[in-house]
Amino acid sequence: MKKITIIGTGVMGHGIGQLYAQHGCEVTLYDLNDEALNNARSMITDSLSAMISKEIISEEDMKETMAHLSCTTDLKKAVDGAEMVVEVVPEILSLKLDTYRAIEALVSEKTVIASNTSAIPLTELTQGALHPERFIITHYFAPAQIIPLVEIIQMDGVTDPKLLKEVEVFLKMCGKSPIILKKEVPGFIANRMQMALMREAFWLYENGIASAEDIDTVIKDSLGFRYVFLGPLEGQDIAGIGTTYNVGLKLFPVLDDTKVPHAFLKEMMDNNTVGIRSNKGFYEYTEESGKEKIRKRNDNFLEVFKLRNKQLGK
């Protein structure tokens, strides 16, 4: 996978493009207009600069990475000779289907088409595809250039098994930690677990059990602290299965099991209290403090990234 095209260079696409360029691929970024492409370039520059300041990469690495990146608003040029095309357009099925139709008309039969969809099953993404066997989902987490996990989703009996292996090996070469789902399931794995946790966090907040700050502290200073290096199931082996079984007997019946997102979230949306972008969510922000929060988040992620690489001997 030496020549890769990224279709859609927003929050996720620019990071995926950066990652592949950092690992020596020739990456073409494609978006609808120059403004989107300029934004992507500047996000990549900022991200690489932050990596230099943390001594994760050198100035020379940054130059090389930038030299591997090119931008275009011409789809034909963008996909010309691509071995893999990564679709990272908004989560709207019809938009994704139109995009695949346009791509398949331009690329060779061998070109891999990977989607970063958060939730749309491959069976829906490939309706109308000329070659469904070359489609795959590679689901990244933001920021894609930093967070190691990539969930790979295939279609049993349709996806070419050689392709599956090739994508897995390629992602490992890019320093990622890919996992292949044995069966397709809505939300894949990480978002299912994240949403189960969010449902309970929202319930605790809605019922006044603790403040937003304290709920966040509980996760950051307990589960989050552990989970970087110890998954929930291996953790059970250390704790002993019996303890969790007994706790489960007491707690499972009283955990939140609402089937729709909590009403207060809709109220927050109606009041434009949607987080940093409206200067108010669970917390209050100014323009500056909101930006600082995101900068600090990225900075902390890079520290964990370094620590993790050190542990893995990278």
Ligand X SMILES: NC(=O)c1ccc[n+]([C@@H]2O[C@H](COP(=O)([O-])OP(=O)(O)OC[C@H]3O[C@@H](n4cnc5c(N)ncnc54)[C@H](O)[C@@H]3O)[C@@H](O)[C@H]2O)c1
Residues that bind ligand X in the complex, under the rule CB under 6 A: 7-13, 31-32, 36, 88-91, 95, 99, 116-118, 140, 142
In the bound state with ligand X, the residue whose beta carbon lies nearer, of 135 and 140, is 140
| DSSP assignment of 28-49 | EEE-SSHHHHHHHHHHHHHHHH
Shortest distance in whole angstroms from residue 90 CB to ligand X: 5
Shortest distance in whole angstroms from residue 149 CB to ligand X: 11
Shortest distance in whole angstroms from residue 45 CB to ligand X: 16
How far apart CA 121 and CA 20 sit, in angstroms, is 25
Helix axis angle for 263-270 and 190-206, nearest 10°, is: 90
In the bound state with ligand X, the residue whose beta carbon lies nearer, of 142 and 239, is 142
Q: Which DSSP helix (H) or strand (E) runs through 115?
A: strand 112-115
Asked, as a colleague might, if the bond just before 253 is cis with ω within 30 of 0, I would say no
Shortest distance in whole angstroms from residue 143 CB to ligand X: 9
In the bound state with ligand X, the residue whose beta carbon lies nearer, of 83 and 87, is 87
In the bound state with ligand X, the residue whose beta carbon lies nearer, of 155 and 190, is 190
Q: Are strands 84-87 and 3-7 parallel, antiparallel or unpaired?
A: parallel
**Tokens, residue 217:** 């502290």
Neighbours of 202 (CB within 10 A): 18
In the bound state with ligand X, the residue whose beta carbon lies nearer, of 52 and 189, is 189
Shortest distance in whole angstroms from residue 96 CB to ligand X: 7
Sequence letter at residue 163:
L
How far apart CA 97 and CA 7 sit, in angstroms, is 13
Shortest distance in whole angstroms from residue 116 CB to ligand X: 4
In the bound state with ligand X, the residue whose beta carbon lies nearer, of 149 and 204, is 149
In the bound state with ligand X, the residue whose beta carbon lies nearer, of 165 and 277, is 277
Q: Is 137 helix (H, G, I), strand (E, B) or coil?
A: strand
Angle at 98 between CA 97 and CA 101, to 5 degrees: 85
Shortest distance in whole angstroms from residue 274 CB to ligand X: 14
The answer to whether 128 and 97 have CB atoms below 8 angstroms apart is yes
